[in-house]
Amino acid sequence: MEKVTIYDKKFVKFISHRDIISAIEAVSRQVNEDYCEGEDIPVVLCVMNGALLFAGELIQRLNFPLEIKTVKLASYEGTESSGKIREVQGIPGSVKDRHVIIVEDIVDTGATVEYLCNSLKEKGAADVKICTMLLKPEMYDRDIPLDYVAKEIPNRFIVGFGLDYNELGRNLKDIYVLE
């Protein structure tokens, strides 16, 4: 499928499933290097719903004990970020004195990861690292380092592999860009 229509928008294939998986394999090797020798069991915090597919593929490739938690935040309205973070489902359980790896689908301005990092630190996390499938470097304007980036992309609106347009398109195995 080279083109898809979602609601009133047309999208063209941008990143193939094969390239997505290759990027996930590369980033999982980096995460494994940092955590395989550790004694602590880190919390992998999946930011729902967008990071669901990425997190699923990533954790299958991680070779150390880990705990999975999810959080659901919202900031997008249609194709634009509202700039305001809404907590739909908060961080479950305690993260006090735990190492946390935030797993995000995409980082653009960085408002969501900044919000989560601050929240996790307030809750007593020992350490917070960020792992994102996609980064829009020209949009990122925060001082928080991104520890693991699978792929950098230009500032374009995309759907597929977990990313949506008004909740549709997440199930596409490839990533599509607005035509």
Angle between helices 52-60 and 17-35 in degrees, nearest 10: 60
For 153, phi then psi, to 5°, come to -135, 160
Taking the CA atoms of 55, 107, 19 and 163 in sequence, report the sign of the dihedral they define.
Answer: positive
The answer to whether 34 is a known catalytic residue is no
Q: Between β-strands 158-159 and 175-178, what pairing exists: parallel, antiparallel or unpaired?
A: antiparallel
Residue tagged active-site, from 8, 19, 105, 108: 108
Phi-psi region of 37 (alpha: psi -120 to 50; beta: other; left: phi over 0): alpha
Under 8 Å between Cβ of 47 and 105: yes
Instruction: Tell me the sheet residues that pair with 45.
Output: 69, 102
φ, ψ (nearest 5 deg) of residue 72: -125, 120
Which positions are annotated as active-site residues? 108
